Structure 1
Amino acid sequence: MHAPGFLRNTLPYIDTLYDYGAFLARASGRLGVLPAECAYDARIAIVGAGISGLVAASELLRAGARRVVVFEANPTRIGGRLLTQPINPDHPRLLAEMGAMRFPPSQAALYHYLNRFGIDSTFRFPNPGVVDTEIHYQGRAYRWMAGDAPPALFDSVDHGWRSFIRDGAQLDGGVRLPAPAELTALLRAHRYDDAQRGWQQYIDKFGDASFYSAIVTIFTGATPPGGERWRKDKDLRLFGTLGIGSGGFQPVY
């Protein structure tokens, strides 16, 4: 598998190895053209005025369709799961996301259309540790200041998780899981076959397992990432509270 020569800033998804960012970069104009015999006569209905429905309508019109109708159940707004609302009229910059909360840079297609239509977004999401954070665990509050390591209570699980991302894991029974950071580097280097083989090891081991059971397998074995076994009665709860990104992993359990 070979990546297009111009591909620089987007990555294909590890499951499909399809890069939507590269596809959209190639399609500098319309994504396609409808045959003339059906472009004017086709009656096209799109259910839902979320971002997917709006993009579909826009691209169909650009492809030559003339009779496109978008049906939306809510008569007062469009946007689907995207709903940003101000919290206090005196502080318009304080916003609450009532639907989808964050979109990582890997969402190349979304940002392509945001840029096309001049829709603003922010690239600085208030992740724990990126901004001042307060973590609540078993009735106590722990301060996590921006740029610092997590509170000392979470040292073991934080170190173990970071070690796993960097180094992968050696499981009981001899299975070696490649580091997630290594798989990302392979994708960036356009070594897609190697990345797919590495990811297949995860699928073979955990394809029928829950996220929680996979974490238990990885971190409670004889040689856990970071060198310290996690305890189910404490460390798994700590990890579920700490998590990464926008919040803890406990709901994913």
Structure 2
Amino acid sequence: MTVPIGPEGIHDTAGAPPLTMFGPDFPFAYDDYVRDSRGIGSVPPEAYGKRVAVIGGGLSGMLVARELLRMGLQPVVYEADQIGGRMRSVTFDGHPGITAEMGSMRFPPSSTTLFHYLDEMGLQTSPFPNPLADATASTVVDLKGEKHFARSIADLPDIYSEVAQAWARTLEDHAEAQALGDAIRKRDVAQIREIWGELVKRYDDETFYGFLCKSDAFAQFSLREIFGQVGFGTGGWDTDFPNSILEILRVVCTAADDHHRGIVGGSQQLPMRLWSTPVEGAAHWPAGTSVQSLHDGGVHRPRVVELRRTHPDNFTITDQSGRIDTFPAAVFTGQGWMLLNTIRSDERLIPIDHWTAIERTHYMGSSKVFVLVDRPFWKDIDPATGREVMSMTLTDRMSRGTYLLDFGDDKPGLICLSYTWADDSLKLLPLSPAERMDLMLKSLREIYPDVDIRKHIIASPVTLSWETERDFMGAFKANLPGHYRYQRRLFTHFKQDNLAPEYRGFFMAGDDVSWTAGWAEGAVQTALNAVWGVMNHFGGRTAEGNPGPGDVFDDIAPIELGS
């Protein structure tokens, strides 16, 4: 259920600026930085054409490559599978425009830097049908065998409003939610740093569940149980209970859990267009140059199998084809664990403390099961009740979250039968796609006994468990208590002035090193950090009046906790 973070809620108040993903750990205006007509920076002419290895072709990698090209550098992209990363949109033969989003599928408008690039690439978005959202005709909450139909939270039993109020009270009483939200709206850096710094010191060692238990509003276990199963914004959050409460506060204080939108035609279009669309006004390169056109045959290089430093300050890469190539700088945008187990990595790439941070990274698993159906039959009205025969569904059964995706009355529809996380995802690992579908249909039949979903299915189910993907090994990073220091090392790695010279020139990006786990905005922001790092490494600079994240780093750096 969607609930407020304070008395006035997370929605825009009259005359007030909106909440955006401005901090709180590093309150830098990335959206203003990329929109500035002076550009995000340049390198000296003697650096034009220098090659930079970009390892990973997801959103972060494609953004890094595009912005480096814009500066006159030559990005060389290595990708183990396909351009897109966790922006993976699966299509169905004979049904153009209908895509199953196996990874990223919903994006908060507070991701303002991400939306800048969506606009630049000419992509459209539409409201995503989250539980009880305006775009969702109806929601069914099914817990402990009791089913409740709702169009708003007011339609649910009073206990659900009590849970929502308990969450709002807890955030206000224990996390200064309203004050922090106001500071983020106003982009009051000093106030953000004061409030957030105290919260980091107070809660670095606290789990999400422990945070709830400390609140008088959640003194009853039944309230905590319902909250975990139904949650806020996007559904149940009990699989997140062991994680650091700081991870959750970052979501709610920046409205990352609300007003979600989907990308029309599939999210994978964004990294694909960043790859293939010519960059207007690029330094050094002729008009019409794209990242793709700089690659032989328009094809990215294959999987990296070895990555090492070589004399004097270079990076030598061996790819799956056996090709060996050397670069003066490299950007790694994949998930950090790959540097530990699927890529033979030189220990001299980064300092030992950074290796420790990567090794301690905690990943969330995630699984989805989709089926294509002949039409959006869930919109049919049951004459006995006057309601839709099926709704967006939250349940404690195996399916957990079921989403109904409508592409028009005269077109097939798509059902995400199940969207699960962590332990719930692990329970599905031994099952084939057909077995997963059967299990979810069984769960849903208990909720909708008169609805025969199976008779509407017109294609084989598609499914994915990110924890079994060789090049991901999880859906996204999610810090455990005590991990703030590790995260700070990874996020701040792009600012290399304080690193010994032998550790410079290798940069990390992607939501793995960002503060906002699992959100595309984190991939975008850390990509821009890495671009600034590469630019600085080659003697470049930002335009006067439009400083980059490294230029103002010392003034807004994430707080440091003692040893």
For the pair 1:25 / 2:35, whether they are aligned, the reply is: yes
What is the aligned partner in structure 1 of residue 141 from structure 2?
A: 135
Instruction: Please state whether the residue corresponding to 2:60 is helix, strand or coil.
Output: helix
Provide closer, same or farther for how the CA distance between residues 188 and 160 of structure 1 changes in structure 2, counting only shifts above 3 A: same
Q: Please give the residue correspondences for 1:48-127 in structure 2 after superposition, counting only pairs within 5 Å.
A: 48-65=56-73, 67-74=74-81, 77-85=82-90, 95-122=99-126, 124-127=127-130
Q: Displacement, 1:150?
A: 3.9
Identity over the aligned pairs, expressed in percent?
A: 29
**Deviation digits for residues 137-190 of structure 1 (CA, Å, limit 9, x no counterpart):** 12333222247454434232112123345xx11xxxxxxx45313211122223
Task: Point out which structure has higher relative CO (alpha carbons under 8 A, 6+ apart).
Answer: 2
Give the distance between the partners of 1:64 and 1:96, measured in 2 at CA: 36
Q: Which moved more, 1:200-209 or 1:243-252?
A: 200-209
The answer to whether the 8 A contact 2:130-2:234 is kept is yes
The superposition leaves residues 198-246 of structure 1 with CA deviations (integer Å, 9 ceiling, x where unpaired) of: 223322321111111111112xx3xx3xxxx5312x2211010121111
Question: Offset of 1:94 from its aligned partner?
Answer: 6.0
8 Å Cα contact 1:129/1:145 also seen in 2 = yes
The answer (yes or no) to whether the contact 1:21–1:108 under 8 Å persists in 2 is yes
1:15 paired to 2:25:
yes
Aligned residue number for residue 3 of structure 1:
none
Which of 199, 204, 208 does residue 201 from structure 2 map onto? 204
Q: List per-residue Cα deviations over 1:63-111 (Å, max 9, x = no partner).
A: 011x32111111xx42111123457966x67653210122212222211
Against the structure 1 CA distance between its residues 201 and 115, is the aligned structure 2 distance closer, same or farther, given a 3 Å change threshold? Answer: same
> Which residue in the other structure is 1:174 paired with?
none
1:239 aligns with 2:227: yes
Task: Indicate conservation of the 8 Å contact 1:164/1:179, yes or no.
Answer: no
Aligned mates of 2:156, 2:179 — CA distance in 1: 24
- Paired residues of 2:58 and 2:85 also in contact (CA < 8 A): yes
User: SS at the partner of 1:104?
Assistant: coil
Separation in structure 2 between the aligned mates of residue 31 and residue 198 of structure 1, nearest angstrom: 30
**Distance between the aligned counterparts of 2:94 and 2:231, measured in 1?**
32
Q: Does structure 1 retain, via aligned residues, the 8 Å contact 2:57–2:78?
A: yes
Instruction: Name the SS of the counterpart of 1:69 in structure 2.
Output: strand
SS at match of 1:241: helix
The one-letter amino acid of 1:235's match is L
Unpaired runs of at least 5, structure 1: 1-7, 170-176
**Bigger shift: residues 235-244 or 184-193:** 184-193
Q: What TM-score, normalized by structure 2, do the two folds share? A: 0.36
CA contact (8 A) 2:33 2:40 kept: no
Secondary structure in structure 2 of the residue aligned to 1:142: strand
- Describe how 1:42-53 pairs up with structure 2 within 5 A: 42-53=50-61
Q: Distance in 2 between matches of 1:49 and 1:11?
A: 24
Distance in structure 1 (CA, Å) of the matches to 2:93 and 2:46:
53
The answer to whether structure 1 residue 162 and structure 2 residue 168 are counterparts is: yes
- Under a length normalisation based on structure 1, what TM-score does the superposition of the two structures give? 0.77
Tell me which moved more, 142-151 or 209-218: 142-151
Q: Is 1:190 matched with 2:200?
A: no
Corresponding residue of 2:45: 36
> Contact 1:83–1:97 at 8 Å: present in 2 too?
yes
Aligned residues: 221
Instruction: Verify the 8 A CA contact 2:153 2:161 in the aligned structure 1.
Output: no
**Distance in structure 2 (CA, Å) of the matches to 1:251 and 1:133:** 21
Cα 1:55–1:183 change in 2 (3 A) is same
Tell me if the contact between 1:150 and 1:158 (Cα under 8 Å) persists in the aligned partners.
Answer: no
RMSD (Å) for aligned C-alpha atoms: 2.5
Return 5+ residue gaps in structure 2 as ranges. 1-16, 242-563
In structure 1, C-alpha distance between the alignment counterparts of 2:98 and 2:153, rounded to whole Å: 22
Aligned equivalents of 1:55 and 1:195: distance in 2? 28
Q: 1:239 to 1:106 in 2, by over 3 A?
A: same
1: CA distance, partners of 2:124 / 2:195: 37
Secondary structure, aligned partner of 1:181: helix
CA distance in 2 between partners of 1:251 and 1:154 (Å):
19
Write the distance in 2 (CA, Å) between the matches of 1:84 and 1:38. 37
Q: Which amino acid aligns with 2:207?
A: S
| Cα contact 1:187–1:195 (8 A) shared by 2 | yes
Separation of aligned partners in 2, 1:62 and 1:129: 42
Taking a change above 3 Å as real, the CA distance of residues 216 and 108 of structure 1, as seen in their structure-2 partners, is same
